[in-house]
Amino acid sequence: MSHKILIIEDEFAIREMLTFVIEQNGYKAISAENYNDAQQLLMDETPALILLDWMLPGMSGIQVAKKIKQSDSYKHIPIIMLTARSEEDDKIQGLEVGADDYITKPFSPKELIARIKAVLRRTQPTATDDPIEIVGLRLDPTSHRVTLEGSDLHLGPMEFKLLHFFMTHQERVYSRDQLLDNVWGTNTYVEDRTVDVHIRRLRKALITHDKLIQTVRGSGYRFSTRMD
């Protein structure tokens, strides 16, 4: 599945250019011209990265970055800020509010894609077939086996995919829609309550480790070894 990149940029021509460059390089681009539009997209989509313009009408890019990073549902999404400001103090300000990188205009398409790839490498779990082990729970993507303290667990296909996603995205809250998007895929049309059914099945299968999958009231679900 191609990574989705959300562009938040008020100038139409720049939005179009960014969309073209991103899609030419194998990513999917979605775009908004202000925070309100972006917020609606974030509710419907789960971008892997946000390209955020510093100068936006109504609410600055700095303010938008703060809001995103204060949200349990979106704070894990990396942000690259786009700006004409090149002063070091401005760059530091952007990074301090949670931006993961900073590109000064004008920039070349090659630089943009290189920065996107670098940030995704740092922030996304590696696409590897190596086994994952957390507190005695072991998942092997290659053999499609899950064991708990050495004993085999028998999971259905969706429970396996759901557990794999959770184990590679720890300590992040995902809404039902975001889980549907990431685990079931954007072209699959199922009810969001389907997620609850599979969460219940997965918890039952995990036996003593069922509390690793936590319900975050009003937000969704989180995989965590912390019990606070």
Q: Are residues 171 and 115 in the same domain?
A: no
Tally of domains within the chain:
2
Confidence of residue 228 (pLDDT cuts 50, 70, 90): low
Whether the Cβ atoms of residue 80 and residue 102 lie closer than 8 Å to each other: yes
- % of the chain with per-residue pLDDT over 90: 44
pLDDT digits (tens, 9 = 90+) for 108-140: 999 999 989 888 876 665 555 678 999 999 999
Kindly report the three-state secondary structure assignment for every residue of 93-149. HHHHCCCCEEEECCCCHHHHHHHHHHHHHHHCCCCCCCCEEECCEEEECCCCEEEEC
- Inside any domain, residue 170: yes
Q: Are residues 8 and 79 in the same domain?
A: yes
pLDDT of residue 10 exceeding 80: yes
- Cα-based distances in Å from 75 to 120, 137, 156, 180, 185: 15, 26, 30, 19, 21
Query: Alpha helix (H) ranges present in the chain?
Result: 12-24, 35-44, 61-70, 88-96, 109-123, 157-167, 176-179, 193-206
pLDDT digits (tens, 9 = 90+) for 178-192: 888 778 775 455 677
Q: Which residue has the higher pLDDT, 205 or 185?
A: 205
Q: What is the pTM of this model?
A: 0.59
- Rounded distance between C-alpha atoms, residue 70 and residue 92, angstroms: 18
- Cα-based distances in Å from 155 to 148, 160, 163, 194: 12, 6, 9, 16
Q: Are residues 83 and 148 in the same domain?
A: no
Mean pLDDT score, 197-214: 94
Confidence of residue 17 (pLDDT cuts 50, 70, 90): very high
Q: What's residue 1's pLDDT?
A: 47
Confidence of residue 153 (pLDDT cuts 50, 70, 90): very high
Whether the Cβ atoms of residue 99 and residue 81 lie closer than 8 Å to each other: yes
Region of poorest pLDDT, from 19-23, 127-131, 142-146: 127-131
Whether the Cβ atoms of residue 19 and residue 7 lie closer than 8 Å to each other: yes
Q: Are residues 12 and 94 in the same domain?
A: yes
Q: Are residues 18 and 115 in the same domain?
A: yes
- Inside any domain, residue 32: yes
Mean pLDDT score, 3-9: 93
Boundaries of domain holding 195: 132-223
> Which CATH number covers residue 63?
3.40.50.2300
Q: Are residues 91 and 201 in the same domain?
A: no
Q: Token pair for residue 145?
A: 């086996």
Mean pLDDT score, 144-171: 91
Confidence of residue 90 (pLDDT cuts 50, 70, 90): low
Q: Are residues 143 and 78 in the same domain?
A: no
Q: Are residues 118 and 60 in the same domain?
A: yes
